[in-house]
Chain A
Amino acid sequence: MTTDTPNLGTPLIEVVGVNKTFGAVHVLHNVDFKVYPGQVTSLIGDNGAGKTTLIKCITGIYAMDSGEVRFEGEHVKISGPHDAAVLGLEVVYQDLALCENLDVVQNLFLGRERLKYGLLDEASMEQSTRETLASLSVRTVKSVRQKVASLSGGQRQTVAIAKAVLWNSRVVLLDEPTAALGVAQTKQVLDLVRRLADQGLGVVLISHNMNDVLQVSDRVCAMYLGRVAADVAITPETRREFLVELITAGRSGNVGLQAAGEVVV
């Protein structure tokens, strides 16, 4: 297996020693997590392993009990979605959070509308929407003035992702982007995920689908009962069974957690 010292430069986002408890339940134990530019880092783990909690700690929705977030090596304090957005950290949630009664342009610019003489500058927003979608090679949306209600699941996912990257974001966190999609749409979204990383963004993909993970990821971080079981690079030799064992047992061969809970890499 590959070692954990890749020569990928400074991580865009790095969290060190995160602990989080909800009352008596210790949800995250000394979690370390890194996101590199130009890489798709998959975050995998069973239900309740702490994936979503970790994401919410990183984006400031939950306060960490202890631990530190570094952005490009600098210590930063993120205490809410606004701070995250300022750093260029965008999350695409599973439920997408699009307004179905608004069209694609209106959704993309929601909350950050461009104004001209104090009024909405529709022409400029429309043009930027087309450029953003074109730069992501999105070919499935035929009109940027379509209401989101009329779009398919894959198209909505595309719009949600475009919304996240429109703001010159540096890191995009995707929560189960393919969970509700068919085969063809899944492929479109995974292609899009890959293109984001190829454009130099740091991409975090939360997924339960090991095929998706193997297909697009450069690295994988497996969580098991609130601990990081492994943080390794994906190689052509990486097998599906290896990931499944990490998820279900916390270790596979000589990679993973010791019985005592120590991390061996």
Chain B
Amino acid sequence: MSTEPVRSEALSDFALDTSKKDLKAVVADFRVRMKSGDLGSLPAILAICVLVAVFGSTRRSSFVTAQNLANFFEQAAAVIVIAMAVSFVLLLGEIDLAAGYTAGVAAAVLAIRLKEGWGLPAAIVLSALVAIALGLWTGVLVAKLGIPSFVVTLANFLVFQGILLILVKEGGSVRIDNDIIKGIVGNNLSPTMSWVVAVVGLLAFCFGQVHKRRRSDGVIAAGIVVARIAFATVVVVALVLILNRNRAFATANSEIRGMPYVIPLVLIIMLALTFMLDRTRYGRHLMAVGGNQEAARRAGINVVRVRLSAFAGCGLLAGVGGAFLASRVNSIDPNTGGNDTLLLAVGAAVIGGTSLFGGQGRMLNAVLGGLVLALIPNGLGLVGEASPLGIDIDFGSSGVKFICAGLALLLAASVDALSRKRTA
């Protein structure tokens, strides 16, 4: 068979791939997707909009301030990074309950080595190696021995907590004096650099969108591309304008201005991981193993190696999250990475739309979900005591914050379950 007729035949077939769509068709497509339960990260984006609108209108003076905005991103950063770590194993349909303490142990190694006088690069390398080793240990037990990851990481939750306790000594803490580590969460770009980063980021986003549209042969409507770029521009410009205002207390003798480092840092990590998942062979294999392990095995993919490496990657990334955790309080203690860290991280991924059953999810989900889970306590704390319907409630109390975060997670899980039911 000659290739020419095949080519022309191929073009006339597969109508959906090649036909141009206008905005109306896109909206219709979108409605079909919604009805079939393919929600993606839409609930998280809606939640962010609703929360910002509610807190912004009820607590305008405190919520929409430069100080709170910067604070908010710094609160969210560590959980987002650990959520991205957990996303790796969630994509396989596994879970890592010990990721929080992996972050804690890695942070402890980093802090202790720095205190012992090691140089920063050496301390970072050792901390990363320890984080990878902890991930590999989990991976060997899960992928090679076949123990369910829930059980393995439940045990590791205790083991890693024990390691952290021994490293830090009960009741103790290790201060971090290194300026670079301290600056990860807390320091800001200069206002000029903030604009440079914002413009570069926006240009990259525009380029990506336009490139995607060109490659799609015009299947993506031009209107959608313009709308996305316009939305991103408005959000980014507004953020930079607010963050570039001075947010130091009136009594302070120096100014605080500019975009916190964590924003570009988290974005870079997210983009790098997304690129790896979407554009490399390894990422494709990871998604395949998460979707159907048997199919992946028959396709010649080394399933054991993919699963092992995913746990190792989860460990390494959790270690990075550990550095964020340590940087926020400039020290580590036996609770670093403990408490609700892991639960918030898993919750963030799920709220963002990553499935607990594997094969579905993106790194962006972890970021969006992490923002939702940081918005809730941040906003509630500012609302403080209020009396809706005549009942006195202290919205700033930990109890109310936990209940609201839990309800948000339940809501996200129900949306996931309901949409699954609809598709099945």
Interface residues of chain A, those whose CB is within 8 Å of chain B, are 81-82, 85, 93, 95-102, 106-107, 110-113, 115, 118-120, 122-123, 126-127, 130-131, 133-135, 138-139, 141-146, 149-150, 199
Interface status of B9 (Cβ within 8 A of chain A):
yes
A110 to B298, CA, bound (A): 10
Is B284 positioned at the interface, with any CB of A under 8 Å from its CB? yes
Does B235 belong to the interface (CB within 8 Å)? no
Interface flag for B299 (CB, 8 Å): yes
CB pairs A–B below 8 angstroms (14 shown): A81-B300, A95-B294, A96-B295, A99-B287, A99-B296, A110-B299, A111-B299, A112-B299, A112-B300, A130-B13, A133-B10, A134-B6, A134-B9, A149-B423
B300 and A111 contacting across the interface, CB-CB below 8 Å: yes
Residue contact B10 to A139, C-beta cutoff 8 Å: no
Beyond known contacts A99-B291, A122-B215, A199-B1: 12 more, CB 8 A cutoff: A99-B292, A102-B287, A110-B288, A112-B300, A119-B279, A131-B3, A133-B10, A133-B14, A139-B13, A141-B14, A144-B17, A149-B423
Q: How far is the CA of A144 from the CA of B299 in the complex (A)?
A: 19
Does A101 contact B360, Cβ atoms closer than 8 Å? yes
User: Once the chains bind, are A115 and B215 in contact (CB under 8 Å)?
Assistant: no
Cα A96 to Cα B287 in complex, Å, equals: 18
Distance between Cα atoms of A144 and B14 in the complex (Å): 7
State in angstroms the CA–CA spacing of A249 and B36 once bound together.
Answer: 50
Residues in B with CB closer than 8 Å to A131 are: 3, 6-7, 10
- Residues on A with beta carbons closer than 8 Å to the beta carbon of B294: 95, 97
Inter-chain contact B6/A135, CB cutoff 8 Å: yes
Given A100-B291, A119-B279, A106:B284 Cβ within 8 A: yes
Measured between alpha carbons, how far is A102 from B280 in the docked complex, in Å? 14
Cβ-closest chain A residue relative to B3: A131
Q: Is the interface of A mostly helix, strand, loop or mixed?
A: loop
Min Cβ gap A262→B in Å is 38
Is B281 an interface residue, CB under 8 A from the partner? Answer: yes
Is there a chain A Cβ closer than 8 Å to B347's Cβ? no
Q: Which residues of B contact A145 (CB under 8 A)?
A: 17
Residues of B near any A CB (own CB < 8 A): 1, 3, 6-7, 9-11, 13-17, 36, 215, 279-281, 284-285, 287-288, 290-292, 294-296, 298-301, 359-360, 423
Chain B residue with the shortest CB-CB distance to A130: B10
Residue of B whose beta carbon sits closest to that of A85: B300
Bound-state Cα–Cα, A217 to B423, Å: 37
Q: Which residue of B lies closest to A100 (CB)?
A: B291
Candidates A118, A133, A146; contact of B13 at CB < 8 Å: A133
- Nearest CB in chain B: distance from A168 CB, A: 13
Residues in chain B near residue A130, CB distance under 8 A: 10-11, 13-14, 17
Alpha-carbon distance between A250 and B291 when the two chains are bound, in angstroms: 42
The minimal Cβ–Cβ distance linking B398 to chain A, given in whole angstroms, is 38
| Complex Cα spacing A138 to B16, Å | 14
Q: In the bound complex, do residue B279 and residue A120 qualify as a contact, i.e. CB atoms below 8 Å apart? A: yes
- Chain B minimum-CB-distance residue to A150: B36
Contact partner, A142, options B1, B15, B300, B360, Cβ 8 Å: B15
Check B6–A101 contact: CB distance below 8 A: no
Inter-subunit contact B14/A113 (CB<8 Å):
no
Q: Are A98 and B16 in contact (CB under 8 A)?
A: no
**Inter-subunit contact B13/A134 (CB<8 Å):** yes
CB neighbours (8 Å) of B288 from chain A are 99, 102, 106, 110-111
CB distance from B15 to the nearest CB of A (A): 6
Smallest Cβ distance from A169 to chain B, in angstroms? 14
| Minimum C-beta distance from A207 to chain B (A) | 21
Say whether, besides A81-B300, A111-B300, A120-B279, A97 and B292 are in contact (CB < 8 Å).
Answer: yes
- 5 tightest A-B CB contacts, nearest first: A111-B299, A101-B359, A99-B291, A143-B16, A101-B291
Closest residue of chain B to A147 (Cβ to Cβ) is: B38
Quote the shortest CB–CB distance from A181 to chain B (angstroms). 19
Rounded to whole Å, the gap between the CB of B252 and the closest CB of chain A is: 48
Nearest A residue to B91 by beta-carbon distance? A101
Q: Which residues of A contact B285 (CB under 8 A)?
A: 111
